[in-house]
Structure 1
Amino acid sequence: MDLENYLPAEIINFVFVLLFSLLIGMGQRRHHLKQEDNELFGTDRTFAFIGLLGYVLYLFDQVSHIPFLIGFAILGLLISVQYFQKIKLLKDFGLTSSVLALLTFCLPIMVYTQPIWLVLSFVVAILILTEMKSTFRTISEKASQEEFTTLAKFIAFAGIILPLLPTSDLAEFIPVSAYQIWLAIVVVSGVSYVSYLIKKFVFPKSGILLTGFLGGIYSSTATTIILARREKAERTGIQSISAILLANGMMYLRVLVLAFVFNGAIGKLLVVPFLFQFFIAFGLSRLVLRKPGSDDPDHAVIDSLDTKNPLELKTATIFGVLFVGFGLITQFVMEQYGSSGVAGLAFVVGLFDVDPFLLYLLQQNSGLLSMMVALAVINATNSNNVMKMIYAWGLVSKTSRKVLMMNFLVLIVSGLILSVVFYYIYR
């Protein structure tokens, strides 16, 4: 419903300014409940009056905005006097309320000149940031200097280096560009980085299943190895096996997201197969926990995944080298054996690092049919499961090997059947 058909625009804008200003003031009131009113700059009514003052001064001259600017300067002067008096009397150097007052004064301009979704976003951001002071303090206490360096590194990777790279092939015999390599590094590192941050700052002491869930987003191979070692060292038994299966299920969702990012057509082909495999892995993970003698996995706590920072320069370099290497091998196999050779190559490559190979396939434009690319991705994930089964079998305790092997074989066999069915449906 368009309100302007029933109410004058000035009334609507007045209500928006009053309501938003009052909400910001109420947020300040809630944030300073333990302080006396005479110690505060102002709360609900004060901020509502500041918003209305800005509204009135804006209406005086909507062309040059001179009255509004004069009012902003006077308000700033009064706030400065109040701020220095607060420092003198209360030894309080906080500047948040003063800045919020100036932002509230500017609300009328936003209401009149910007779309309502932007104004609402602005107000919501103010309300959330006001309430997150303790959260930010906790994050800052947990974060080391290295974490901020890592964040700056990721911004540089994605926002500075990537746009400057050429999109032409590195050479006639190297069918990839510097842009493709770096884009793959940025996307894969970004997905892993998000999981890394969630694990470190949101769930630093998580249950084993949650560790498997988040670790699968980071790296299912690394998570499988870490959980298998912990199973043997700490005798966590089938809880670790369940978490390993869940991590491998998350691999399918992770690859599916990457497929949609780089090649939507292939992503659509992989939706049904990979969701099917995810639910198989998830079902196996839950079924394992129903075995006699299993404890509540939430009681088994893992302090850290011991995961390396996904934005390390060494990691990016290795990824780039593998990306180019797999690109050369894939190009050679395709020229010698055609698309069926690439689907077979995927079985071999999956025994090593699967991400560079998959991202090369998803970005390639050398004539491979989308069906064959999707089939190669399925085959690579299948053989990758074989590799992780071998790793885990060698690392877990002897009592857990049988359960681990049986469940991994179910996941691998279902993947192989899925590969055959997929081939005959789409050929």
Structure 2
Amino acid sequence: MKPFPYNPDLVHFAVTVVFSFLLGLEVKTYGQQIEEEESPHFIGSARTYTFLGILGFIFFRLDAHCLIYIAGLLGFTGVFMLYYYKKLQDQKTSILLYLLGLVVYSMGPLSVQYTLWMPALLFVLTVFILNARKAIHEISISINASELETLGKMILLSAVILPLLPNKNVIPMVPLSPFKIWLAVVVVSGISYGGYIAQKYFFGDRQYLLTGLVGGLYSSTAVTVVLSKKAKELGSAPLITAAIIAATAMMYFRLIILTALFNLLIAKTLLVPLGILGIACLALSLVYARNGKGRNSKLQMEDKNPLELGTALVFAVLFVSMIVLTQFITSHYGSWGLNALSFVVGFADIDPFVLSLLTGKYSVGFDQVATAIVIATGSNNILKGMYCMWFGGIRNGRYPAWWLFFFGGVTIGIAFIL
């Protein structure tokens, strides 16, 4: 018995029919839920879209020059024009169904020209976008137009200008090329931007604990300041303490990710100690959250986009300055000088310092670099504990402050046994 011969056209046709039918079902369901509520006119069913996909496949295969395929597209467009004319009479201007029809009509050529992943991806994206109608509408209302402009500028600098920067050392006393300097800025800004977007547009009005978890990816220090001010209003609330400690937990995890992106060897050294500290902070925050009672009102976080050019440029200047300073300290004072510097730097923004350690070339080993990162992390916790007492008051901010002092001391202690 001869084996069944493999026919690529048959496979492509089957893929076209299946995805066209499924998209037809999705479009019909969407139309029943949305379109028919707004307009009595509706075009097509699951069978209609299935036949539309079949026609797209047939027309594409009949003519190598795609003239028949284009003629079929024009015919479909003409039919939709009649439907659209009816919609305009009802003051409805959406062309979504026409665009969905084009997606189905192009399913045949896609299945022929590409492997299965392309039509499958197109189907999944179409379903997700249709069902995200409400969420997309809410985001489009709440989003700040200036932030899109800022994102566009950053993409320009990252995707267009970054590849053009020289990848060789051109700055005296800086053992990094302009390309690597700006790449480091882009990576840190990208991580902070992810936390910023999640905090502002998705979790901004959620409970305090979630605010601490998400905001900690953006800036645990900023979250600590905002929550400490809230503690001054509400009193010594366990929920506030839980959120502040949760933000510190995310700082540990964020440092692990950041380290892994630039130096896997140091990341392996830091994974266990920082991971254990992060898990301990997270467990403690859950205990406080479980025992906490009180209101969960919306927090107004600092509306400062980490992708703003001014912010990115300041970070770049701090980054280069830290490289030069660290180079000088390690050359003249060795590991003990680096440890002292890391403790002092912890009372400011530690990201530029950490990046300078991960990307620079110094006269100290990887173990000393890992120790310096952990020391800076510990002293940064002490700084946040001081912020709790300052902005929340001694009475209301003492509990999170004590825990931050404790974890700061433990972190610094661990640094000397790495």
The TM-score with structure 2 as length reference comes to 0.91
For residue 25 of structure 1, what is the aligned residue in structure 2? 24
**TM-aligned CA deviation for residue 136 of structure 1:** 1.8
Contact 2:381 2:405 in 1 (8 A): no
User: CA separation of 1:289/1:198 partners in 2, compared to 1, >3 Å: closer, same or farther?
Assistant: closer
Corresponding position: 1:136 with 2:132 = no
Corresponding position: 1:104 with 2:88 = no
Alpha-carbon distance in 2 for matches of 1:124, 1:354: 41
User: CA separation of 1:287/1:94 partners in 2, compared to 1, >3 Å: closer, same or farther?
Assistant: closer
**TM-aligned CA deviation for residue 312 of structure 1:** 2.5
**TM-aligned CA deviation for residue 170 of structure 1:** 4.2
Contact 1:24 1:123 in 2 (8 A): yes
Partner SS for 1:302: coil
Partner SS for 2:256: helix
Corresponding position: 1:284 with 2:284 = yes
Corresponding position: 1:373 with 2:369 = yes
1:401-420 matches, cutoff 5 A: 401-420=397-416
Corresponding position: 1:162 with 2:162 = yes
Alpha-carbon distance in 2 for matches of 1:74, 1:287: 65
Contact 2:60 2:109 in 1 (8 A): yes
Alpha-carbon distance in 2 for matches of 1:157, 1:356: 19
Q: Which runs of 5+ in 2 are unaligned?
A: none
1:243-322 matches, cutoff 5 A: 243-289=243-289, 294-295=292-293, 299-322=295-318
Deviations 1:78-124 (A, max 9, x none): 333443x2344333211111122122111111112212122211111
**TM-aligned CA deviation for residue 8 of structure 1:** 4.1
User: CA separation of 1:23/1:368 partners in 2, compared to 1, >3 Å: closer, same or farther?
Assistant: farther
Alpha-carbon distance in 1 for matches of 2:44, 2:210: 44
Alpha-carbon distance in 2 for matches of 1:117, 1:290: 45
Contact 1:238 1:400 in 2 (8 A): no
Partner SS for 2:32: coil
For residue 62 of structure 2, what is the aligned residue in structure 1? 60
Alpha-carbon distance in 1 for matches of 2:415, 2:81: 70
**TM-aligned CA deviation for residue 340 of structure 1:** 4.7
**TM-aligned CA deviation for residue 186 of structure 1:** 1.6
**TM-aligned CA deviation for residue 326 of structure 1:** 0.9
1:36-47 matches, cutoff 5 A: 39-47=41-49
Contact 1:25 1:45 in 2 (8 A): yes
1:391 to 380, 387, 391: 387
Contact 2:236 2:395 in 1 (8 A): no
For residue 147 of structure 2, what is the aligned residue in structure 1? 147
Alpha-carbon distance in 2 for matches of 1:358, 1:404: 25
Partner SS for 2:215: helix
For residue 425 of structure 1, what is the aligned residue in structure 2? none
The TM-score with structure 1 as length reference comes to 0.89
Alpha-carbon distance in 1 for matches of 2:364, 2:116: 47
Deviations 1:19-51 (A, max 9, x none): 111121112111111529971121311111100
Alpha-carbon distance in 2 for matches of 1:349, 1:50: 64
**TM-aligned CA deviation for residue 256 of structure 1:** 1.2
Deviations 1:223-256 (A, max 9, x none): 1111111111232523212211111111011111
Partner SS for 1:255: helix
**Partner letter of residue 310 of structure 1?**
P
Contact 1:236 1:300 in 2 (8 A): no
Instruction: Provide the aligned length of Structure 1 versus Structure 2.
Output: 413
Deviations 1:260-306 (A, max 9, x none): 22222222222112111101211222333466xx315xx42223223
For residue 400 of structure 1, what is the aligned residue in structure 2? 396
For residue 75 of structure 1, what is the aligned residue in structure 2? 76
Alpha-carbon distance in 2 for matches of 1:397, 1:236: 10
For residue 124 of structure 2, what is the aligned residue in structure 1? 124
1:358 to 354, 360, 366: 354
Contact 2:209 2:289 in 1 (8 A): no
Contact 2:330 2:362 in 1 (8 A): no
Which segment drifts farther, 97-106 or 159-168? 159-168
Contact 1:200 1:304 in 2 (8 A): no
Contact 2:236 2:396 in 1 (8 A): no
**Partner letter of residue 193 of structure 2?**
Y
Alpha-carbon distance in 1 for matches of 2:289, 2:66: 68
1:48 to 47, 50, 55: 50
Alpha-carbon distance in 2 for matches of 1:131, 1:287: 37
User: CA separation of 1:123/1:290 partners in 2, compared to 1, >3 Å: closer, same or farther?
Assistant: closer
**Partner letter of residue 52 of structure 1?**
I
Contact 1:41 1:98 in 2 (8 A): no
Q: Which runs of 5+ in 1 are unaligned?
A: 423-427
**Partner letter of residue 244 of structure 1?**
I
Contact 2:174 2:320 in 1 (8 A): yes
Alpha-carbon distance in 1 for matches of 2:306, 2:172: 31
Alpha-carbon distance in 1 for matches of 2:123, 2:32: 21
User: CA separation of 1:365/1:81 partners in 2, compared to 1, >3 Å: closer, same or farther?
Assistant: farther
**Partner letter of residue 23 of structure 1?**
L
Contact 1:227 1:240 in 2 (8 A): yes
Partner SS for 2:417: helix
Alpha-carbon distance in 1 for matches of 2:251, 2:22: 43
Alpha-carbon distance in 1 for matches of 2:267, 2:75: 58
Alpha-carbon distance in 2 for matches of 1:162, 1:74: 46
Alpha-carbon distance in 2 for matches of 1:21, 1:182: 45
For residue 207 of structure 1, what is the aligned residue in structure 2? 207
